[in-house]
Amino acid sequence: MNKQQLIDNIRRKQSFLCVGLDTDIKKIPDHLLDGPEPVFAFNKAIIDATADLCVAYKPNLAFYECLGVKGWQALEKTVKYIRENYPDQFIIADAKRGDIGNTSAMYARSFFEDMDIDAVTVAPYMGEDSVTPFLTYKDKWVILLALTSNKGSHDFQLTMDIDGERLFEKVLRKSQAWAGDDRMMYVVGATQGQAFEDIRKVVPNHFLLVPGVGAQGGSLEEVCKYGMTKECGLIVNSSRGIIYASKGTDFADAARKAAQEVQAQMAEQLKKIG
Amino acid sequence: MNKQQLIDNIRRKQSFLCVGLDTDIKKIPDHLLDGPEPVFAFNKAIIDATADLCVAYKPNLAFYECLGVKGWQALEKTVKYIRENYPDQFIIADAKRGDIGNTSAMYARSFFEDMDIDAVTVAPYMGEDSVTPFLTYKDKWVILLALTSNKGSHDFQLTMDIDGERLFEKVLRKSQAWAGDDRMMYVVGATQGQAFEDIRKVVPNHFLLVPGVGAQGGSLEEVCKYGMTKECGLIVNSSRGIIYASKGTDFADAARKAAQEVQAQMAEQLKKIG
């Protein structure tokens, strides 16, 4: 998917919601566990209940890997289901990969060729040659970790160098030489509040993937106030707040209601950019 | 495996070699491709040919993930084969993971509980709470990226802060508060030469996992000169130089010869510490 298609989807749906498919076998409703493919069954129900309210789905690979072979089967089946039934969805593999060049190339092949995923989250620590193998695919995206939503973001990401530049700003600045805003986005945690202002000084036009609204405590209003651009420029993720809205047989309905609430707030915010 | 067991294995085998199982389906000998499990067949032959010459095996997960479900099957089978037949081997999942706490915990469960792997490589960018979930298992290890072997290591890892500390040094220093040298190691690329001296000032007793000898051009002698401790303190990885020493039907013999050469050099180096 290219940038214009994403923007069009956001306008049409009045939503920039990404539903995080962090599907934990230990947290899904009991009645699904009797079936042959509980993780896929859960995802399918969540997707069918929310697809008109969101523009993206983001499976976090940890939740699939921890199930081994069965987990990978569930992931592949989920991606295929979205592709075939909701082709306007932007699919993000939240993998936080990054390795030496020939190895990153293998990961890129896996996500972009074999699974036809739109975007992969990548960690910047190993620098340019660990990221660029992901950037060689047309209309496929790298979402580079910049300033994350967790407490540990303070340990290294805010380190200020001798020129007064913080590490996350250096990541934003340097990585712009690797690709433009047509194939690069950045992860910025919703919990980072006013840091969005500083980030927009460095990357005024890039899309930001924003986790941390909901369970992690970030505020959608604040994110929009400091981070929204004329093209929206935001994909805001909610995982636990939506997919685990209920643990009963009504989990899909509850997820829909939770997604509707967020979508309504997003529509309000989108009015501001017309 | 605990630190003393690892040291004992190194002494007994006169080797601190790790064989990197970066098994690329596109590079393994043609005659294996006709079998039902070519990746596992290749790994099994390499392992049988090298197990007395090395102390560790390190599958890089990218090479398995890119094959989807079949890749995970090959990985699980390889780990099981090593565990059952060569219980003195230290198994490293080269995964370079790292995510928010609850997600890192899922990865840890996957590698340490489900697969009984000894160590996982972890990227430090997201800070303490992305690493500590891997540190709660007795005799299991985090191998944290510090100063990697690739060109991109210069992009961020050498960033100097206002106090004159470089990012990789900050990673080494801060992470020591998270766990001791009984469950933490660091990745330092063999291509970094004299930087090992600086690293040993910060972490005098930790084991270092050293990739980059062989195909990437690092020198074993230089690594030992600046990085070796009284307990050895090094696990040096070679992947392509060993596993692809021949592309013919003699690939396992060729791998053994290549491993023997490295082991002989290592025995020389170990003489220096007695």
Check if A150 contacts B (Cβ < 8 Å): yes
**ipTM tops 0.90:** yes
By Cβ distance, the residue of A22, A115, A162 closest to B162 is: A162
Contact call for A170 and B162, based on CB within 8 A: no
* % of residues, chain B, pLDDT over 70: 100
Q: Which residues are registered as beta bridge partners of A19?
A: A57, A238
Q: Is the pLDDT of residue A214 over 90?
A: no
Find the closest chain A residue to B157 by CA distance: A125
Task: Mean pLDDT check: name the lowest of A206-215, B132-141, B225-234.
Answer: A206-215
CA distance B269 to B10: 12
Report, as residue numbers or ranges, the catalytic residues of B: 96
Average of per-residue pLDDT across B173-183: 97
Contact call for B66 and A125, based on CB within 8 A: no
By Cβ distance, the residue of B24, B60, B76 closest to A69 is: B76
Average of per-residue pLDDT across B104-124: 94
Report the sign of the C-alpha dihedral through residues A214, A216, A221, A223, in that order. negative
Task: Give residue B178's domain range.
Answer: 3-271
Average of per-residue pLDDT across A236-249: 95
Q: What angle do CA B128, B132, B137 make, to 5 degrees?
A: 165
**B94-to-A237, B22, B121, B219 alpha-carbon distances in Å:** 28, 10, 5, 21
Check if A148 contacts B (Cβ < 8 Å): yes
Q: Is the pLDDT of residue A92 over 80?
A: yes
Number of Cβ within a 10 Å radius of residue B44: 17
For the range B264-270, what are the long-range contacts, defined as Cβ-Cβ under 8 Å and sequence gap of 24 or more? B265/B220, B265/B221, B266/B14, B266/B15, B266/B16, B266/B17, B266/B220, B266/B236, B267/B14, B267/B15, B269/B220, B269/B221, B269/B224, B269/B228, B270/B10, B270/B11, B270/B14, B270/B16, B270/B232
Q: Which residues of B touch A213 (CB under 8 A)?
A: none
> For residue B190, what is the DSSP state?
G
Q: Is the pLDDT of residue B68 over 90?
A: no
Q: Categorize the per-residue pLDDT at B87 as very low, low, confident or very high, splitting at 50, 70 and 90.
A: very high
Q: Categorize the per-residue pLDDT at B69 as very low, low, confident or very high, splitting at 50, 70 and 90.
A: confident
Average of per-residue pLDDT across A99-108: 92
By Cβ distance, the residue of B103, B128, B150 closest to A155 is: B128
Average of per-residue pLDDT across B22-43: 95
Model confidence pLDDT, tens digit, residues A144-197: 999 999 999 999 999 999 889 999 999 999 999 999 999 999 999 998 888 999
Q: Is the pLDDT of residue A215 over 80?
A: no
CA distance B57 to B115: 14
Average of per-residue pLDDT across B183-203: 94
Q: Categorize the per-residue pLDDT at A68 as very low, low, confident or very high, splitting at 50, 70 and 90.
A: confident
By Cβ distance, the residue of A72, A124, A129 closest to B156 is: A124
Q: Is the pLDDT of residue A212 over 90?
A: no
Q: Is the pLDDT of residue B200 over 90?
A: yes
Average of per-residue pLDDT across B186-202: 93
Model confidence pLDDT, tens digit, residues A5-63: 999 999 999 999 999 999 999 999 999 999 999 999 999 999 999 999 999 999 999 99
CA distance B171 to B154: 15
Model confidence pLDDT, tens digit, residues A6-21: 999 999 999 999 999 9
Helix B251-271 vs helix B38-50: crossing angle, to nearest 10: 40
Q: Categorize the per-residue pLDDT at A81 as very low, low, confident or very high, splitting at 50, 70 and 90.
A: very high
Find the closest chain B residue to A73 by CA distance: B69
Check if A174 contacts B (Cβ < 8 Å): yes
- Between strands B17-20 and B119-122, the pairing is unpaired
Q: Is the pLDDT of residue B152 over 80?
A: yes
Contact call for A151 and B131, based on CB within 8 A: no
CA distance B191 to B242: 18
Q: What is the pLDDT of residue B269?
A: 97
CA distance B106 to A64: 9
Q: Which of residues 73-132 of B touch A (CB under 8 A)?
A: 73, 76, 94, 96-101, 103-104, 106-107, 109-110, 114-115, 123-131
Mean of per-residue pLDDT scores for chain B: 95
Mean of per-residue pLDDT scores for chain A: 95
Average of per-residue pLDDT across A252-256: 98
Average of per-residue pLDDT across A198-202: 96
Q: Is the pLDDT of residue B64 over 80?
A: yes
Q: Categorize the per-residue pLDDT at A218 as very low, low, confident or very high, splitting at 50, 70 and 90.
A: confident
Question: What is the nearest CA distance from B74 to chain A, expressed in angstroms?
Answer: 10
Q: Is the pLDDT of residue B212 over 90?
A: no
Task: Give the H/E segment covering residue B63.
Answer: helix B62-65
Q: Is the pLDDT of residue B194 over 90?
A: no
Q: What is the pLDDT of residue A40?
A: 98
Q: Is the pLDDT of residue A248 over 90?
A: yes
The tally of domains found in chain A comes to: 1
Q: Is the pLDDT of residue B28 over 90?
A: yes
Q: What angle do CA B32, B120, A172 make, to 5 degrees?
A: 105
Average of per-residue pLDDT across B124-134: 97
> Looking at residue A133, which CATH number applies to its domain?
3.20.20.70
